[in-house]
Amino acid sequence: MLLSEAREGQSVVIERIGGQGALRRRLHEMGIIKGTEVTIEKYAPLKDPMELIVKGYHVSLRVEEAAQISVLDVKTGLSSCPTNG
């Protein structure tokens, strides 16, 4: 699943960060790296941006940027990778 598809209150773990150059560097600087647990605090009234809790602090991220991040649901263990069959 993508981070942009997560619901308010849901906790996820970062699996993969897409994008290039400045976007990837910015996400890494904010502590959004593979293996980090992130909680979706809330979405803005028009669903963009979204507020995340990363390592105890609040981060706002555009939904289009969040769509570059693959995550794993903490509770269900469901990944972004579809299963064949």
Query: Over the stretch 20-74, which tens digit does the pLDDT of each residue have?
Result: 889 899 999 988 999 999 999 999 999 899 999 999 999 999 999 999 999 999 8
Sort residue 77 into left (φ over 0), alpha (ψ -120 to 50) or beta.
left
pTM: 0.82
pLDDT band at 82 (very low <50, low <70, confident <90, very high): very low
Tell me the domain boundaries of the chain.
3-73
Tell me which of 84 and 37 has the higher pLDDT: 37
Q: What is the DSSP string of 14-51?
A: EEEE---HHHHHHHHHTT--TT-EEEEEEE-TTS-SEE
CATH of span 3-73: 2.30.30.90
pLDDT band at 76 (very low <50, low <70, confident <90, very high): confident
Q: Could you tell me which of 43, 35, 37 has the C-alpha nearest to residue 60?
A: 43
pLDDT band at 84 (very low <50, low <70, confident <90, very high): very low
Evaluate if residue 80 carries a pLDDT over 50. no
18 and 70 Cβ atoms separated by less than 8 Å:
yes
Q: Could you count the other beta carbons within 10 Å of the beta carbon of residue 46?
A: 7
Amino acid at 18: G
